[in-house]
Homo-oligomer: A and B are copies of this chain.
Amino acid sequence: MKDAKLVKRKYRRGLFVGRFQPFHLGHGEAILKLLEDMDEIIVIIGSAQLSHEIDNPFTAGERYMMIRSAFHELKIKPNRYHLLPVPDSPTHAVWVAQIASYAPPFDVVCSNDPLTIRLFKELHVPVVGVPFISRDRLNSTLVRRRMLSGENWCELVPTSVAEEIKKIDGVARVRELAETDSPFGRRDFSKTV
């Protein structure tokens, strides 16, 4: 990575939103690529309030540790990124305003999600695509599925992320969240308790 001071890049600071349940190699590759065109990247840990759900097993604090370790492993310098948990907003109409109040100023949004793209475009903020590689092979849902089935999930995430997940015994948690004692299949916890 070249020195931030000497390089003239296209954007000053980009915004990248994800849930990172968990952070995988595709995230890492995309962020390295994005950093070629921007001085700094703001990584928002979205849905920060959620955890202990089958689709959202890890807390914001756990995801923060995974990403920070991954960035160290990927040799992304601390002065080139900002890592910030942000809870969901009750409605889409105010989500953009909430993101803007939690984040440092940004001059570009990095997203492939049509809704995110539309919401920022309606506010005239420029949007660039996220250069994911092998999207069908590298995604968080697949990592969680492999954790459940006992397949090799470690090969899909940075080594340091795998280590963080082992520290918190994360695979056991994902499996327990998928179990149920209902005779009709898993009850929706948010309704049950």
Q: State the A residues within 8 Å of B (CB).
A: 17, 19, 46-53, 55-56, 59-62, 64-65, 68, 78-79, 82, 84-98, 100-105, 112-119, 135-136, 139, 141, 173, 176-177, 179-184, 187, 189-193
Considering the complex, give the chain B residue whose CB is closest to the CB of A89: B94
Known contacts: A84-B85, A118-B177, A193-B46. The answer to whether A101 contacts B91 by CB under 8 A is: yes
> Is the beta-carbon distance between A93 and B49 smaller than 8 angstroms?
yes
What residues of chain B lie closer than 8 Å to A64, measured between beta carbons?
Answer: 82, 84, 103-104
Asked if A191 and B118 make an inter-chain contact with CB atoms under 8 angstroms apart, the answer reads no
How many angstroms between the C-alpha atoms of A50 and B94 in the bound complex? 10
| B115 adjacent to A176 (CB under 8 Å) | yes
- 15 A–B pairs (Cβ distance < 8 Å), ordered by A: A47-B193, A48-B102, A51-B93, A52-B115, A53-B92, A59-B102, A60-B101, A64-B103, A78-B79, A85-B86, A88-B191, A91-B98, A112-B181, A135-B183, A139-B183
**A38: min CB distance to chain B, Å:** 17
- Are A60 and B190 in contact, with the CB atoms below 8 A? no
Nearest residue, chain B, Cβ from A48: B102
Within the complex, the shortest CB–CB distance from A86 to chain B, in Å, comes to 8
Measured CA separation A135–B185 after assembly (Å): 12
CA of A59 to CA of B102, assembled, Å: 7
Given A60-B101, A65-B104, A105-B61, answer yes or no on A94-B92 (Cβ-Cβ < 8 Å).
Answer: no
For A116, list chain B residues within 8 Å (CB): 193
Q: Which residues of B contact A115 (CB under 8 A)?
A: 52, 176-177, 189, 193
Q: A59 to B192, Cβ gap below 8 A?
A: no
Most chain-B Cβ atoms within 10 A of its Cβ — which of A55, A82, A91?
A91
Kindly report which residue of chain B lies nearest to residue A178, judged by CB atoms. B114
